[in-house]
């Protein structure tokens, strides 16, 4: 059976829960909830196993903190014998407006430290990533404060819908492929 590794990037601990930087955790939590499963704390992260349309997926929330995400990704790819084409990383992106999704089969880290570490650990940037737009409503030099803040009131209203679109994109990635998911889901979640 074809298996996937779906990784949501974030930081562990109550201080980071519900912040923009943890949207990757929120999306994999939504996938687990939809499949009525829970996470188990194992080596380098919290892991849940789901099945969708005859395909297995391991959901991973690394506990290595954002800047060391690659160690957890590499470990679980090796443990579960996941080929690079079946890896999907979900991350926040300040270069996209809030609620925009952008899936790519490969690319740069875009200045994101989690992706940078994954590229270094895998010695490749050739893996699929789903970027979730969080906007860039911050003054120069205040990026760290912005990404570690909770969503604002307006964002909270539409966030569940945007997360649902992200989960649909992931199901499409698993059922078909990255190109199909890109064609259907790249763009503004409020218009998809």
Q: Is residue 112 among the annotated active site residues?
A: no
pTM: 0.95
For residue 125, what are the CA distances in angstroms to 29, 93, 103, 120, 122? 25, 17, 14, 8, 8
- Which DSSP helix (H) or strand (E) runs through 27? helix 23-34
Which of 21, 61, 102, 129 is catalytic? The answer is 21
pLDDT tens-digit readout, 34-84: 999 999 999 999 999 999 888 999 999 999 988 999 999 999 999 999 999
Fold of 3-188: Rossmann fold (3.40.50)
Per DSSP, the residues of 137-188 read -S-TT-HHHHHTSBP-HHHHHHHHHHHHHHHHHHHHHHHS-HHHHHHHHSEE
DSSP secondary structure letter of residue 127? S
């Amino acid at each position: 059976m074809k298996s996937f590794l779906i990784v949501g990037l974030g930081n562990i601990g109550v201080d980071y829960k519900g912040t923009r930087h943890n949207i990757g955790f929120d999306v994999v939590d939504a996938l687990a909830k939809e499949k009525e499963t829970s996470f188990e704390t194992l080596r380098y992260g919290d892991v849940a196993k789901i099945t969708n349309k005859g395909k297995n997926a391991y959901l991973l929330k690394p506990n290595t903190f954002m800047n060391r995400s690659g160690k957890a990704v590499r470990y679980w790819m090796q443990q579960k014998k996941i080929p690079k084409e079946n890896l999907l990383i979900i991350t926040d992106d300040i270069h996209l407006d809030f609620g925009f999704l952008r899936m790519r089969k490969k690319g740069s880290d875009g200045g994101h430290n989690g992706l940078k570490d994954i590229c270094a650990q895998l010695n490749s940037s050739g893996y699929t990533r789903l970027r979730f737009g969080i906007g860039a409503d911050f003054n120069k030099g205040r990026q760290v404060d912005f990404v570690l803040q909770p969503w604002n009131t307006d964002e909270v209203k539409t966030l569940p819908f945007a997360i649902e679109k992200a989960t649909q994109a992931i199901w499409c990635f698993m059922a078909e492929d990255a190109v199909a998911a890109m064609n259907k889901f790249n763009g503004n979640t409020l218009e998809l």
